[in-house]
């Protein structure tokens, strides 16, 4: 039996990067559970949620780096990677909105874009696979930073108005980048079909 660390042909979707991506997807319910278990956003226990979130987000970069370095980029990986991102960030946004920490309009705008692009990818998966754009990657990073700040109990450490302004700025910038990268993706899809 081959070790997961050995190089696998690129046409084989069962490789280490894809296994890491699947693990990220499976870890999302634990993160969501932790948010509701430690619902007080100023409790030191909220650092547990923050740690789970950071580990899941960090593994996103790890699976991509391994896939590129070992030549293990697959169509399945290109499809699963954004799904894992959307499951984590979507689950975080809905949970944080339910807890009253992020406005519902922010969650709705971001999820409409994310789910729309994901559904489109699933519809055209047999005809074309459009990888994430540079704007899409920046959007994902920025959304991750924003959610990380909101999840953390730093409001207990920095009770001043400036920290709330910082969080609000991160939220609004994430919305702008989400909409912009969505338009970028639609333009790329139209070019690909043409």
Task: Name the band, by pLDDT with cuts 50, 70 and 90, for residue 16.
Answer: confident
CATH fourth-level superfamily of 16-193: CDP-alcohol phosphotransferase transmembrane (TM) domain (1.20.120.1760)
pLDDT at 133: 62
Give me 120's structure tokens. Answer: 């489109």
Higher per-residue confidence, 104 vs 156: 104
Q: How confident is the model at residue 77 (pLDDT cuts 50, 70, 90)?
A: confident
Q: From CA 83, how far away is CA 38, in angstroms rounded?
A: 26
- At 111 the pLDDT is 94
Query: Residue 24 — φ and ψ, nearest 5°?
Result: -60, -45
Do the beta carbons of residue 181 and residue 138 sit within 8 Å?
yes
Which pLDDT score is estimated for 80?
A: 81
pLDDT at residue 5 in the model: 47
CA distances (Å), origin 81, targets 46, 132, 168: 26, 9, 28
> Could you state, in order of their start, the residue ranges of all structural domains in the chain?
16-193
pTM surpassing 0.95?
A: no
Closest of 65, 62, 41, 68 to residue 150, by C-alpha: 41
User: Which of the four pLDDT bands, split at 50, 70 and 90, describes residue 103?
Assistant: very high
* Residue 8 pLDDT grade (very low, low, confident, very high; cuts 50, 70, 90): very low
pLDDT digits (tens, 9 = 90+) for 44-71: 999 999 999 999 998 888 877 787 787 7
CA 167 to chain centre: 18
Contacts of 180 (CB under 8 A, 6+ apart): 135, 139
Residues 119-177: pLDDT tens digits? 776 776 566 656 556 677 788 888 999 999 999 998 888 877 888 899 999 999 999 99
Please state, rounded to an integer, the average pLDDT across all residues of the chain: 84
Would you say residue 76 has pLDDT above 80?
Answer: no
Give me 122's structure tokens: 């699933």
Q: What percent of the chain has pLDDT over 70?
A: 87
Could you give the CA distance from residue 105 to residue 73 in angstroms, rounded to a whole number? 36
For residue 133, the 8-state DSSP code is P
The count of other CB atoms within 10 Å of the CB of residue 176 is 12
Q: In the structure, what pLDDT confidence band is assigned to residue 18 with cuts at 50, 70 and 90?
A: confident
pLDDT value of position 194: 67
3-state helix, strand, coil split of the chain in percent (to 5) is 75, 0, 25
């Amino acid at each position: 039996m081959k070790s997961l660390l050995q190089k696998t042909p690129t046409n084989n979707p069962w490789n280490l990067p894809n296994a890491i991506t699947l693990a990220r997807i499976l870890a999302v319910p634990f993160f969501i559970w932790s948010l509701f278990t430690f619902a007080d956003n100023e409790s030191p226990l909220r650092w547990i949620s923050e740690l789970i979130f950071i580990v899941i987000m960090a593994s996103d970069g790890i699976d991509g780096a391994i896939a590129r370095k070992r030549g293990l980029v697959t169509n399945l990986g290109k499809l699963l990677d954004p799904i894992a991102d959307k499951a984590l960030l979507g689950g975080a946004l809905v949970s944080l909105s339910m807890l009253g920490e992020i406005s519902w309009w922010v969650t709705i705008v971001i999820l409409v874009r994310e789910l729309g692009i994901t559904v489109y990818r699933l519809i055209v998966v047999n005809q074309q696979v459009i990888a994430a754009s540079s704007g899409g990657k920046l959007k994902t990073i920025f959304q991750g930073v924003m959610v990380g700040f909101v999840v953390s109990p730093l409001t207990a450490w920095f009770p001043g108005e400036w920290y709330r302004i910082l969080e609000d700025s991160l939220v609004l910038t994430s919305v702008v980048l989400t909409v912009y990268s969505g338009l970028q993706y639609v333009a790329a899809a139209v070019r690909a079909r043409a």
